[in-house]
């Protein structure tokens, strides 16, 4: 059974609506950011990334926004589907020899039918 | 294409026992990582190997050792398991720093 994420903040969204998941990162020197999706019993799966020289990047149904001024990252999912239900993590990387991807605590997304 | 493969998937240990978690990747990646994930928390880096032949401590290295056996394989060893090491362990790899890391399916370890 799933033991990860018992006390995570939860976002409940109606199927078909757009979802916005937020993340505050810690290090102003971080220059690479990733969003991961983690389904129950599985490893994190890459969704989208963005480098610090950009403020927006779009993928298929997903958009990541980066606000370096307030150290904030968001993931927007368009037309949320039941298969989007999972825990979402942001990760930051200071690409200067540290090799550390620092993960946030995650947000659970629940899609309501 | 298997990606990152971890063995075993589940393990129960008694306090004081030792074991090695195995990880292999077939993507010809240079860098490999071991993370642990506890309930309600994100992933925390235990050790990493930036390239074959090198290993370095991450955020929570105490109680663990690693070996980068070759470019494909990166193992994590618990010499004397403690209940505090009960967790889900993930191995990951990336082509290089500043690129996405790909994760295995995890090893659920319980120390009693």
Taking only the tens place, the pLDDT of each residue in A53-94 is 999 999 999 999 999 999 999 999 999 999 999 999 999 987
HSE of A39 in the Cβ direction (CA atoms, 13 Å)?
A: 9
Chain B, residues 30-59, CB within 8 A of chain A, namely: 31, 33, 35, 37, 39-45, 48, 50, 56, 58-59
- Mean pLDDT taken over chain B: 94
Mutate to test the interface with A, among B39, B50, B100 (most CBs of A within 10 A): B100
B10: contact with A, CB 8 A cutoff: no
Residue of B nearest to A9 (CA): B40
Give yes or no for a contact between B100 and B76, defined as CB atoms under 8 angstroms apart. Answer: no
Cα distance between residue B22 and residue B76, in whole Å: 7
Give yes or no for a contact between A106 and A73, defined as CB atoms under 8 angstroms apart. Answer: no
Check residue A1 and give its pLDDT.
33
- Partners of A35 in the beta sheet? A48, A90
Residue of A nearest to B40 (CA): A5
Backbone phi and psi for residue B5, each to the nearest 5 degrees, phi listed first: -115, 125
C-beta atoms of B40 and A5 within 8 A: yes
pLDDT greater than 90 at residue B97: no
- Partners of B44 in the beta sheet? B36
A112 — pLDDT class (breaks 50, 70, 90): very high
Check residue A95 and give its pLDDT.
66
B41 — pLDDT class (breaks 50, 70, 90): confident
Of the listed ranges A6-10, A83-87, B86-90, the least confidently predicted one is: A6-10
A contacts of B39 (beta carbons < 8 Å)? 3-7
């Amino acid at each position: 059974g799933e033991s990860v994420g018992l006390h995570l903040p939860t976002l409940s969204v109606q199927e078909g609506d757009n979802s916005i998941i937020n993340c505050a990162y810690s290090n102003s020197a971080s220059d690479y950011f990733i969003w991961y999706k983690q389904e129950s019993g599985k490893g994190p799966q890459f969704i989208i990334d963005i480098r610090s020289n950009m403020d927006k990047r779009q993928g298929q149904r997903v958009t990541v926004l980066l606000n370096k001024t307030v150290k904030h990252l968001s993931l927007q999912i368009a037309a949320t589907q039941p298969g989007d239900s999972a825990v979402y993590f942001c990760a930051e990387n200071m690409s200067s020899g540290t090799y550390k991807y620092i993960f946030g605590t995650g947000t659970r997304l629940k899609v309501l039918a | 294409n298997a990606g990152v493969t971890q063995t075993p998937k589940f393990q129960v240990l008694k306090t004081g026992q030792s074991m090695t978690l195995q990880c292999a990747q077939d993507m010809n990646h240079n860098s490999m990582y071991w993370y642990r994930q506890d309930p309600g928390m994100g992933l925390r880096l235990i050790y990493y190997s930036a390239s074959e032949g090198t290993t370095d401590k991450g955020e929570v290295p105490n109680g663990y050792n690693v070996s980068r056996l070759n470019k494909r394989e990166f193992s994590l060893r618990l010499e004397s398991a403690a209940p505090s090491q009960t967790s889900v362990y993930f191995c990951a790899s990336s082509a290089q720093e500043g690129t996405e890391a790909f994760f295995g399916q995890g090893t659920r370890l319980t120390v009693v």
